[in-house]
């Protein structure tokens, strides 16, 4: 148990105790409002280069298991909590949270006022930060932090995408090609559950290769970083939008927005958590959703593009879903596969299947 310092780029400092690996790491500090699901949060590739602070005060009480992971490794740069549970109680648990972070060489800090940190981020916005267990000199840390480039303008997808194609599931009536920008496992699981064979390809796969594989539909996955920087994926999408039914999730929606000629922008502090309210503008029904994004499609930039905004976030009225008025293409900014989170929006996978079914007729 060593002293640990979290320093934000505006000079705000928090001092706590290390409960995992030691070292120094940089990233963007954000807060997550989920009460449970820390294991899924840790293994979500969309959190690449982010220091995640959990707003719920007690974390780690049910440990870590081998089933509830969303990728093959931890992607967060660091984990920030108020208090680590001294007891791990779950019949599936194989490791404690601290042991899991140490095993994956991830720094964790506890004992800081996470409520104060969250309120500060809400007012000042998400910002660059450094977390260190070996250097406590604020001036030295601040100097190092100035050289960290942040997330804007950077392509992080290339760091999380698979490097070669693979089959997740071969047994399904509808052949779905998943463009892996940092895909979560539960997206693949729900596709398979909805009678889809699932073929996953790297984000840098060309439109020519996608067209030659002749899928029934294409899913654009979630992922980290600035969508505007993932120019190769945007170009690929431009060249397939008139050929296949397409379902975009999170970063997938942002990339679609760019492919249709729109823009994206960075949110002040992003949406991260499993309790975000979203309204379907057609039915006026509200779903509680799981979200994890720091960028958003610019609604104004999509006017006169045959794009209809289908869902909005009730906290800040940002775009949470859109659909093409003529083509079988739709997307959501939130995570219908959840993990963690509610299952209010899992029906969207059935909608995707119906689009593929109708397109075959």
Would you please indicate which residues are annotated as catalytic (active-site) residues?
250, 335, 337
Buried b (16+ CB within 10 A) or exposed e, 204-225: bbeeeebeeeebbbbbbbbbbb
Q: What sign does the CA torsion over 345, 48, 35, 95 have?
A: positive
Task: Please name which of 51, 337, 345, 339 lies closest in space to residue 221, comparing C-alpha atoms.
Answer: 337
Query: Partners of 127 in the beta sheet?
Result: 29
Q: Which residues contact 155 (CB under 8 A, 6 or more apart)?
A: 225, 226, 229, 230, 231
Q: Residue 22: in which H helix or E strand, if any?
A: none
Over the Cα atoms of the chain, what is R_g?
A: 20
- Residue 173: which region, alpha, beta or left (left: phi > 0; alpha: psi -120 to 50)? alpha
- Residues 41 and 340 sit within 8 Å (Cβ to Cβ): yes
- Residues 356 and 245 sit within 8 Å (Cβ to Cβ): yes
Backbone angles phi, psi at 35, to 5 degrees: -85, -30
| Helix, strand and coil percent figures for the chain, each rounded to 5 | 25, 35, 40
Q: How far is CA 127 from the centre of its chain?
A: 17
CA diameter of the chain: 67
């Amino acid at each position: 148990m060593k002293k640990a310092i979290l320093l934000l780029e505006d000079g705000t400092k928090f001092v706590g105790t290390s409960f995992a690996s030691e070292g120094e790491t940089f990233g963007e500090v954000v807060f997550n409002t989920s009460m449970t699901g820390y294991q899924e949060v840790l293994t979500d590739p969309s959190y690449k280069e982010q220091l995640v602070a959990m707003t719920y005060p007690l974390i780690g009480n049910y440990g870590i298991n081998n089933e509830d992971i969303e990728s093959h490794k931890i992607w967060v740069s660091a984990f920030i909590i108020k208090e680590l549970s001294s007891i791990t109680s779950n019949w599936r648990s194989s490791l404690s949270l601290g042991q899991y972070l140490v095993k994956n060489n991830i720094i964790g800090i506890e004992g800081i006022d996470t409520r104060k940190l969250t309120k500060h981020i809400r007012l000042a916005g998400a910002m660059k930060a450094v977390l260190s267990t070996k250097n406590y000199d604020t001036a030295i840390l601040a100097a190092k932090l100035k050289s960290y480039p942040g997330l804007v303008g950077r392509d992080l997808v290339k760091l999380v995408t698979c490097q070669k194609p693979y089959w997740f599931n071969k047994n399904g009536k509808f052949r779905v090609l998943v463009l892996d920008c940092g895909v979560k496992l539960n997206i693949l699981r729900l596709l398979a559950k909805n009678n889809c064979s699932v073929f996953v390809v790297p984000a840098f796969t060309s439109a020519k290769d996608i067209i030659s594989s002749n899928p029934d539909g294409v899913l654009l996955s979630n992922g980290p970083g600035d969508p505007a920087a993932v120019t190769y994926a945007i170009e690929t999408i431009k060249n397939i939008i008139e050929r296949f039914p397409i379902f975009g999730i999170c970063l997938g929606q942002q990339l679609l927005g760019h492919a249709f000629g729109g823009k994206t922008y960075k949110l002040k502090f992003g949406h991260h958590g499993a309790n975000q309210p979203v309204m379907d503008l057609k039915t006026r029904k509200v779903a509680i959703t799981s979200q994890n994004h720091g960028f958003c499609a610019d609604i104004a930039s999509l006017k006169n593009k045959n794009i209809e905004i289908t869902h909005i976030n009730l906290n800040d009225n940002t775009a949470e879903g859109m659909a093409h008025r003529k083509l079988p293409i739709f997307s959501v900014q939130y995570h219908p596969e959840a993990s963690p989170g509610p299952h209010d929006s899992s029906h969207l996978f059935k909608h995707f299947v119906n689009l593929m079914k109708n397109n075959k007729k």
